Structure 1
Amino acid sequence: MNLTQQLHETAKKMGNKPAYYFMDQSSTYAELDGAVTKFADGLSKLGVKKGDHVALVLGNSPHFVIGLHGALRLGATVIPINPIYTPDEIGYIVNNADVKAVVTLDLLVPLVEKMHKALPKVEHFIICETPQGQASELDSASLSVYPKMKSFTQLVASGDLGFQGPELEEDQTAVILYTSGTTGKPKGAMLTHKNLYSNAKDVSDYLHMSEDDRVITTLPMFHVFCLTVALNAPLMNGATILIDPKFSPKEIFRIAKKFEPTVFAGVPTMYNFLLQYQDGNPEDLQSLRLCISGGAAMPVALLQVFEKKFNVMVSEGYGLSEASPVTCFNPLDKPRKAGSIGQSILNVENKVVNELGEEVPVGEVGELIVRGPNVMMGYYKQPEETAATIHDGWLYTGDLARMDEEGYFYIVDRKKDLILVGGYNVYPREVEEVLYNHEDVVEVAVLGVPDPNLGEAVRSYVVSKNPKLTEDQLLIYCAEHLAKYKVPSSIEFLDELPKNTTGKILRRALKNQVIQTK
Structure 2
Amino acid sequence: MKQRPWIQHYPLSIPDTIDTTRYSSLVHFMEEVFEQYKDLPMCENMGKVLTFSAVNKLSKSFAAYIQQHTNLSLGSHVAVQLPNLLQYPIAVLGMLRAGLVVVNINPQYTPSEMAYQFKDAGVRAIVILENFAHKLVEILPDTSIQTIIVTKVGDMLGSIKGKVVNFAIKHIKKLVPTYQLPQAISFKEVLEKGRKSIFRPVALKASDTAFLQYTGGTTGVSKGAVLSHGNLTANFQQLDPVLRLALKEQEERTILPLPLYHILGLCSLFAMAKLGAKCSLITNPRDIPRLIKKLRKIKPTCLIGINTLFEKLLAHKKFKKLKLSSLKLTMAGGMKTEKKVKNQWENLTGSKLIEGYGLTECSPGVSTDMINGIDHIPLPGTFVIIADETGKEVPYGTAGELLIKGPQLSQAYWQKPIETAGAFVNGWFKTGDIATMDVNGFVSIVDRKKDMINISGFNVYPNEIEQILIGHPKVLQVGAVGITDMGLKEAIKVFIVKKDATLTAEEIIAYCKAKMTPYKVPKYVEFCNSLPKSPIGKVLRRLLKK
Q: TM-score, normalised by structure 1?
A: 0.78
Matched residues in 1 for 2:369 and 2:409: separation? 20
**Partner residue in 2 for 1:169:** 205
More deviation, 124-133/239-248: 124-133
- Asked if the contact 2:388–2:394 (Cα under 8 Å) also holds between the matched residues in 1, the reply is yes
**Partner residue in 1 for 2:350:** 311
**Deviation, structure 1 residue 305:** 2.1
Matched residues in 2 for 1:508 and 1:376: separation? 36
1:286-297 equivalences in 2 (<5 Å): 286-297=325-336
Matched residues in 2 for 1:182 and 1:295: separation? 12
**Partner residue in 2 for 1:244:** 282
Q: What SS class does the counterpart of residue 284 from structure 1 fall into?
A: coil
**Partner residue in 2 for 1:515:** 522
1:365-444 equivalences in 2 (<5 Å): 365-417=399-451
**Partner residue in 2 for 1:344:** 378
**Partner residue in 2 for 1:54:** 78
Deviations along 1:418-467, one digit per CA (max 9) or x if unpaired, are 9xxxxxxxxxxxxxxxxxxxxxxxxxxxx999779986559999xxxxxx
**Residue 17 (str. 1) matches residue 40 (str. 2):** yes
* Equivalent position to 2:338, from 299, 322, 344: 299
**Deviation, structure 1 residue 349:** 1.6
- Asked if the contact 1:282–1:309 (Cα under 8 Å) also holds between the matched residues in 2, the reply is no
Matched residues in 2 for 1:514 and 1:104: separation? 48
1:27-426 equivalences in 2 (<5 Å): 27-44=50-67, 45-119=69-143, 121-131=144-154, 133=166, 146-160=181-195, 162-179=198-215, 184-208=220-244, 209=247, 210-228=249-267, 230-247=268-285, 248-281=287-320, 284-332=323-371, 334=372, 336-337=373-374, 340=375, 342-417=376-451
Structure 2 stretches lacking a partner, 5+ long:
1-22, 155-164, 171-177, 453-465, 495-518, 526-546
Matched positions, count = 441
Deviations along 1:1-42, one digit per CA (max 9) or x if unpaired, are 232322222222322110111101111111111111111111
Q: What SS class does the counterpart of residue 515 from structure 1 fall into?
A: coil
Matched residues in 1 for 2:66 and 2:404: separation? 36
Aligned-pair RMSD on alpha carbons? 3.1
- Counterparts in 2 of 1:181 and 1:145: CA distance versus 1, 3 Å: closer
Matched residues in 2 for 1:123 and 1:363: separation? 54
- Counterparts in 2 of 1:183 and 1:213: CA distance versus 1, 3 Å: closer
- Counterparts in 2 of 1:202 and 1:282: CA distance versus 1, 3 Å: farther
Q: What SS class does the counterpart of residue 444 from structure 2 fall into?
A: strand
More deviation, 292-301/46-55: 292-301
Matched residues in 1 for 2:167 and 2:336: separation? 41
**Partner residue in 1 for 2:544:** none
**Partner residue in 2 for 1:469:** none
Matched residues in 2 for 1:308 and 1:509: separation? 34
- Asked if the contact 1:54–1:100 (Cα under 8 Å) also holds between the matched residues in 2, the reply is yes
Matched residues in 2 for 1:499 and 1:383: separation? 38
- Counterparts in 2 of 1:78 and 1:451: CA distance versus 1, 3 Å: farther
- Counterparts in 2 of 1:514 and 1:246: CA distance versus 1, 3 Å: farther
- Asked if the contact 1:291–1:312 (Cα under 8 Å) also holds between the matched residues in 2, the reply is yes
Matched residues in 1 for 2:325 and 2:310: separation? 15
Q: TM-score, normalised by structure 2?
A: 0.74
- Asked if the contact 2:254–2:277 (Cα under 8 Å) also holds between the matched residues in 1, the reply is yes
**Deviation, structure 1 residue 295:** 1.6
**Deviation, structure 1 residue 54:** 0.4
Q: What SS class does the counterpart of residue 79 from structure 1 fall into?
A: strand
- Asked if the contact 1:330–1:343 (Cα under 8 Å) also holds between the matched residues in 2, the reply is yes
Structure 1 stretches lacking a partner, 5+ long:
138-142, 419-446, 462-496
Q: What SS class does the counterpart of residue 203 from structure 1 fall into?
A: helix
Deviations along 1:388-439, one digit per CA (max 9) or x if unpaired, are 0011111110000112233221111210239xxxxxxxxxxxxxxxxxxxxx
- Asked if the contact 1:269–1:454 (Cα under 8 Å) also holds between the matched residues in 2, the reply is no
- Asked if the contact 2:480–2:493 (Cα under 8 Å) also holds between the matched residues in 1, the reply is no
